[in-house]
Structure 1
Amino acid sequence: MKPFSVFFLLICAASFLHSHDSSAGTKVWLIESRPNKTVAVKGDLSTGFEINDLSWAWNSSVACFPATQQKKFTGKHVLYKTNIPPHAEMTVTVVPDDKGANFSLYGYQVGAGKSVVVPDLTTCITCEADHKWDYPKVGKKQDHTRTIEFNAITESYTIYIGVTGADGLKSGGYTLKVSLNTGDAGTGEQKPLKIYGAKAQKGKIISYSGDLKDGVPVNDLSWASKSSVACFPGTQNEKFRGNHIIYVTELPAQSKMTITVIPQNVNDNMSIYAYTTAVGNKAMVPDLNSCVECEAEHKWDYPKRGKTQDHTRSVYLESMDNPYRVVIGVAGAKGVFSGKFILKIAVE
């Protein structure tokens, strides 16, 4: 999630409203999220309520956290709700005032305008939770803060957020931060893409040289997270915020294609994506609504067991009985607008 240029600090009692939803008038504080900004609210667990029955959380149609972790959510709960618009990503973080306080955080996504408050939650679109780990995780560190993330593709949703304590914690001040990233869609005119034709031949590897300085950014990346494209999730948009150069080639029937980008400078953070369409289909990003297949690779956020990653990126495509048009994008991560590279296209 990219940093936000403006930070709002709102004081709970004076600066935002609360509403009364279901569950016997449970207080739910309303947070008005703001596009490409972070809204922060102060709170204290002492203002919350206890939930005696946590079984909703491990209901298979909710799947928020398992019963084995219920002790992490036995303190008082303070509930909030906000909205996420289409083509957006939301990051929610709770920061306890006391670094030694053991807080937990959860949130669930429901249809826009729908009111459903735990423990009366029987189903939701998704539920996320973060709590103190029982053991270290490879390549990651945890402090006293807790964070969850949500995204919306084509529709708006209501997000309910729960701040609670572990082991029966009933008081403790905190700051809750809600960051909404709506991306760059609609914020500027898309400059013409730099598009090259690229020959591919079965049984051969053909190489092309390029430089990201010749490309342009793709302002609206929402096409990539559409379910009919499924190239990369909105949470990885930062890996594709630099300049893009596009190559168009063809994948013969009954073939496999390996596409690799090799930055000349090993420190240049580049990404790659490629999608297939029917031959003759002219669909081009950012106006891509669907495709046969889309694959992408970018710098990993953390190590993967049994695998290593260098500065190169590769994707793989396959055809069956029909040939496909292939569109390849070489992109820089955020802030990467130049850098020489070699693009290799191998077909077998």
Structure 2
Amino acid sequence: MTLKTTLLAFVAAILTMATPAAAEKTVITDVAGRKVELELPAKRVLVGEARQIHVIAALKGEHLFDTIVGWRDDMIKKDPDSYEAYLERFPALKDLPQVGYIPSGTFSLEGAIALQPDVLTLNIEAQKSAQESGIEEKAAAAGIAIVYLDFRVDPAKNSEISVELLGSIFGEPAKAQEFIDYRRAQIALVTDRLARTSDLVRPKVFIERSPGISGDNVCCRTFGPANFGEMVEQAGGHNIANDVLKTTFGDLNPEQIIVSNPDHVIVTGANWAAESDINQFVHVGRGADPANARNKLEALMQRPAFFSLAAVKNGKVHAAWHQFYGVPYEFIPIQQFAKWFHPELFADIDPDKTFREFHERFLPVTYKPGYFVSLPSGGE
């Protein structure tokens, strides 16, 4: 070998050593069935719905915002009690860049690209708009992988898959599985006991979606066989909307409710002060005032479709935190509903204790009660 050949070989070897190897990418399948290729764990994540933080926090704990470069503003507007909890724990959160919502047309792709995310996590409801607007295609061209999650439309099918996806994205697959196992066990405390009860009588239940938030919706938005409707069934009740609706969300008319004459009425509520035009909603959630919530709940039961119902006459009227409908914490309302529907069978179950334990084990924020309320004699 000549000196020249030896020198060329040496230079080539040095160049090879100096050139970093291309990052290995992994293919994952999101809840929309799309094959998505990205480097895992992701280094820069744009959270397309801020309420996904409820799950990500359970995976990342104190390191929740280490790799999040921006988020949608929905937690601030729709779940401000939770936002305040996370802001108190992570003061820099107030400066986290915000992006809009694709279906409403407020999402800026240019603003998103400027944050240089590796991945954008979106709820499945945004997929149609993301495709029709071209955002899906343009994001891919900019090197941003879109991953669709679902905790709302079909949570029974997609919640655990979505937790696993977030576990992969944030490099916490073991913690994701721990979360899933805990959730399954807490739900099984109810469903296994119900399965062993041969003489179970399921009370009729109407669950109303966010009454009192808007004057445009007087009555009666509800849930079909999925989401809160499924939670009612898992807790040993019969969701009366299942007899009519086949979709996750829908409406019953007042006459249908009167004819069904449910044994229990549950309304969903939250702190919607930033969005409500009538301020008649039931404010339940982290640290909510139970007396104020009861007053609002009692006022809602004066509407024509409700005041004559057996549930109202018998004091079986309740409110539950609305945001359970988009977070895989379903084990909490399932336990609480079971206590309302079958108080003797579930006398030993304590949903408040369960939720407090969940916070201490998984979440970086402190627990405060206030997620449920009942009218007097409602078996709170």
Q: Which has the higher helix share?
A: 2
TM-score (norm 2): 0.26
TM-score (norm 1): 0.28
1 or 2 for the larger relative contact order (CA 8 Å, sep ≥6)? 1
